[in-house]
Amino acid sequence: MAMAEKHNHIDNKEIQPLLVFGPPLIFPTFEARNFHKYRFLKAFSSQLPLHQFLTEQNVDPSSIQAILCSPSQQVSTDVIQLLPSLCVIVTSSAGTDHIDLVECSHHGIQVVSVPGDQAKDVADMAVGLLIDVLWKISAADRHVRKWGPSMHRNLSFGSKLKGKRVGIVGLGKIGKEVAKRLEPFGCRIMYHSRNQKPFISYPFYSKVVELAGNSDVLVLCCPLNEQSRHLINREVMLALGKDGAIVNVGRGALIDEKELVRCLMEDEIRGAGLDVFENEPNVPNELFPLDNVVLSPHAASLTSDGFTEVCELAAEALELFFSSKLPSIRLLDG
């Protein structure tokens, strides 16, 4: 069914059904601000298959034209095929790997990413994680809380950030912001992306393993897809070496997590700062006692200012859709 055929002119005063997956962290605020506009169908709160959930709610699947979602719940082929009138999917994330984009394309469904200006926030977190890993700030904090301020013989020294060779994997919006922040520290920036970027002076490596071999640090900022899944494998980690560190603010499955755990436990790499994990919300238990790992709960973009902005952008995208002014697709570059 073509987009124009599916999207009939709608009386904006009519309360529209809005299917919610995830839910997005913005949802409680979004719901409170927009309760008069939408009937919220909270699929995330039910263990039933979607078609049974909709039946229970007395909702005809063909009445649903919009989804609001987050990466914590998949918008799969089965979901899309169940909803013949679906026209737009709004996700609160920069990444879209939780949405079947191929199926959306087949059905003419718009996918709108409304992360706000998260690139700068995520870049700040990446640099924070890197400094923490190199200087062992979190490990030192745990030591002081347990043993007091005396230097423990098992607490190793930190490492300077100045002069480090930093390989950025994915020189998109986030990657560029990371580079901008690290340059004043005297870091030497190089990168890997799908293609070499025009007008970028940083050295480009077409192979990640070669980038790792010439870097002290890898910072992962690229989107997750079939080509980038487990891009950072054991070979790459060994090329990075015993003095190398990894920071991941992209997606957990960019790294072969089992091999990462192994390399960290066997001191094959210096350390890792991780804001994302391969099987969220699960985190490998082996990481918890390690002092060479800094863990964050996928919180790189969670600032109060950014939260408000994403909520407003999601509301605007849906308002535009139901006003027949369809937003254009926005995907993460890398």
Which residues are the active-site residues?
A: 251, 280, 298
**Residue 40 CB contacts under 8 Å (≥ 6 apart), including other chains:** 18, 20, 31
What are the structure tokens assigned to 13, written together?
A: 């005063």
Q: What's the distance, CA 138 to chain centroid?
A: 23
**Residue 93 CB contacts under 8 Å (≥ 6 apart), including other chains:** 24, 70, 71, 113, 115
What are the structure tokens assigned to 126, written together?
A: 């990446």
What are the structure tokens assigned to 156, written together?
A: 């190793």
Contact 168, 216 (CB under 8 A): no
Q: Where are the beta strands (DSSP E) in the chain?
A: 16-20, 38-42, 66-69, 88-91, 110-113, 165-169, 188-192, 217-220, 245-248, 271-274, 293-295
Residue found by looking up tokens 């490596």 in the block? 205
The helix/strand/coil state of 101 is helix
Task: Respond yes or no on whether the N-terminal peptide bond of residue 281 is cis (omega within 30° of 0).
Answer: yes
- DSSP structure class, residue 20: E
| Rounded alpha-carbon distances, angstroms, from residue 296 to 129, 154, 327 | 9, 24, 33
Residue found by looking up tokens 């293609």 in the block? 195
